[in-house]
Every structure is written in C-alpha cells, then in structure tokens.
Amino acid sequence: MDFYPLFGALLLVSFRSASAAARPHVVFILADDLGWNDVGFHGSEIRTPNLDRLSAEGVRLENYYVQPLCTPSRSQLMTGRYQIHTGMQHQIIWPCQPHCVPLGEKLLPQLMKEAGYATHMVGKWHLGMYRKDCLPTRRGFDTYFGYLLGSEDYFTHVRCSAIAARNLTRCALDLRDGEEVAAGYEGVYSTEAFGQRATSIIEKHDSDKPLFLYVALQAVHEPLQVPERYLAPYSFIADRRRRLYAGMASAMDEAVGNITLALRRRGLWDDTVLVFSTDNGGQTLGGGSNWPLRGRKWSLWEGGIRGVGFVAGPLLKRPGTVCRELVHVSDWLPTLVGLAGGSANGTKPLDGFDVWSAIRSRHRAAVTFGRAGRLRLQRVRPRRHSVLQLEAADGLPGSVPRRLKPLPLWTRTCSDVPSNAVSFFQCRL
C-alpha cells in the first residue's frame, strides 16, 4: 500500500474539517413586523418558548435598531449601506414597480459565497424582481424558495394588487422555487412551508462546507391568518386581531424551534451562529404591540425602529447576557462577513460596522467614523474609563490618547470627519 497518497488524503480531509470549523455556519432568521412586546422575553402575553430559550442562552440585543419599513431594512441587511445611499428609501417596492437593489451593489450572500459558503435563502425577498438580474439566485444565493413580494395570502400564496388607473385588481401566485413558479403548495401555511424547506436544507447540507442560511419568514405580517390549532391557547385575548396575531407569532416560534432542532440533529449547532431579528417595529393596526415604546411600523418613533433581536450559539463567549451597545441592521454585513473570514472588498463604502466583539464578549467594537480622513476610533481597553485611540491619515495626528467619561449609549452623530482632532472628541459617541 502506498503511504503517500493515503497520507495526502487524510491531510486533505483534516484540512477541510479544520477550515470548516474555523468558519462557523451562519443562520439568519428575519421576522416580519414583529413588535417589541410580541415576545415572551419582553413580558408579552404571547407564548414564544423557543425564542425565549434561545435568547436566554445567547445574547439579547436590547439597543438594536432597524428601519421602519420592510424594503429599507432588508436592503441595509443585504448591502451594509443606508438606504439613502442605494435609492431604497422610498417606502417598499410595490408589485408593478420597476425597481430593485442596484445591480452595482455587492450583497451579503455574494460575499459569503466568496468566503467559501453554501448560500441558501428561504422566505420573503422584497428587494425587487422586475428583471431576472434582480432575483435572489442572481444576487448570490445558490437556492431560493419563497415570495418575491410581500402581503401574500398565507395559504394560497397569491398576491393581489389594485391598479387604480384601470379600476381593476390583478392577482398572481407569488411563490417561487429557484426562478420558477412553485405550484402545488396551495393550502400549506407559509410559515410551516418555509420552516420545512429550511430544515430540509440543513438536513441535506454537506457539513464539510460552511452554511449561510437566510430565512425571511412571512410571519407576522398581515393578512392575519393562522391555522386554528395555534389560536386555542389565546382564547383569553378579547381583541380578534391580537388573538390572530398571537397565533401567528406562536407558529413562527415553532418554526424557529424546528430549525434549531434540525441543526442539533445534523450535528451543526456547535459550530453555528444564529441571528434572530425583526425587519421593523410591530404594526399596531394589525395586532402588533410595541409597548412601552411609542409608535409603530412606518413611524420613526422607537416603536417603529427599535427591533427585537438576539444572537445565539455555542460560539458566544458570554451566553445568557444582554448587549446594550448600539447595534444597527446595517452592521450585519460587515459583522457576518468578518465572522466568516471573508472580505468586504468590492463593496461600495459601508455604513455598517463589525460589532462581533461587542456581541460575543461585550467589549465595545472598534468603529470607523467618516471616510475622507480615514479616522478610526478604537476602544483600547474595556474598562470604566477606557483609553480611546485615534488613528488618522491625511496629515492629522497619528494617535491622540484621551480619557473620556463613559456615555450610556453610542450614537452616530459624528458621521462627518471634523477638520481637527480636538473637535472630534467633542462629538457624542
């Protein structure tokens, strides 16, 4: 028996296993219109045992912000850039609107694929579909199953749209498998269909390759529809809309539980980072609740933009904690790409920051403010009075150590680079 070929094969297997372990599996679950007071761990009457358990075992993001609407939030998640920089700031993308995330933008799944990941998407896209180049499978995902728009019927998967100029309404099936219409799912509740497809992807995944799975659930967006069995625990809720909404949230919670169970059974959980997020605040006109926050979806009050979110998985250094650092939906692209060992080279200038150190170990992350002067403000030691160091270019001082009193929250009010380092330290961080 020739020793060298055998040794080479063993070395290759060992290298592939070590390489996969160094790059964790990433599962990102996005809820639709989930309000601050719609999860058990925020004191809601809605029962979400799986979300409660995962968040309790992980890191809850209690100072986490999103956009007040669906398309802007999703575009920031996928690009790491504010919607004002991508032209996605004008409400949502409507059914007949010839618009999508600009094709010149490099999206998160493309970067994850470049880092060696298998990339899959299940659920609601809503980032444009007027031409094939806008579709998820043309923007970095290996596979796709879900809705291209939003507000579909949960059982028939049909989306209707009024055309005022012609005084008529047109309806169409909006469920896709890849780029083809997915017939044969009528009567299957979308939350269950998406959960089942996600678990199927996990069960079939080659564990030697890192997985990026993006599950964008339809729940708990209107229309308010749910199988009767999920309503039984909520007979005490008098308001019909709230009762239906509660059942939908429970169905969503069950789907999340099934996804995590599939990861455990497949042996992937120990190397998985799971992120759960809402896309915007709850729609109080459709059963949601953001109590005690003011406002709702579509508003710029806290109820519209402060999001439910957490990170879970065995790779966290301090599980069972609460992160009160400022985290924004635009931060996920640089954070996840960095976690994957990838590079954001090739993207347009990012607005988001890599916040993994703040999430994983509760240390404040290094943050770059501005572009013209290439200034980097870095927290050197996570102590009560931390030393902040300024790395500069373009003729500014190389480092300016300075002791500052800690502030309760970081805000991005210093987005423009000042002309001198002294005025920079007068900004609220």
Enumerate the active-site residues: 70, 126
Bridge partners (DSSP) of residue 144 are: 121
Give the side-chain half-sphere CA count within 13 A for 67: 22
DSSP per position, 284-329: GGGT---TTS---TTSSSHHHHB--EEEESTT-SS-SEEE-S-EEG
The residues, any chain, with a CB within 8 Å of residue 421's CB and separated by 6 or more, are 390, 392, 396, 397, 400
Question: How far is residue 90's CA from residue 70's CA, in Å, rounded to a whole number?
Answer: 11
Closest CA to 337 of 212, 205, 209: 212
Question: How far is residue 338's CA from residue 354's CA, in Å, rounded to a whole number?
Answer: 7
User: Are 283 and 249 contacting, i.e. CB atoms less than 8 angstroms apart?
Assistant: no
Query: Reduced to 3 states, what is the DSSP secondary structure of residue 114?
Result: helix
| β-bridge pairing 59-61 and 168-173 | unpaired
Bridge partners (DSSP) of residue 26 are: 212, 273
The structure tokens listed for 247 are 């059942």
Quick count: other Cβ atoms within 10 Å of Cβ 385?
10
Question: How far is residue 50's CA from residue 253's CA, in Å, rounded to a whole number?
Answer: 6
List strands edge to edge, sheet with 272-278: 180-181, 176-177, 143-147, 118-124, 211-216, 25-31, 272-278, 309-312, 59-61, 321-323
What are phi and psi for residue 248, nearest 5 degrees?
-65, -40
DSSP per position, 178-231: TTEE--S-TTS-HHHHHHHHHHHHHHH--TTS-EEEEEE--TTSSS----GGGT
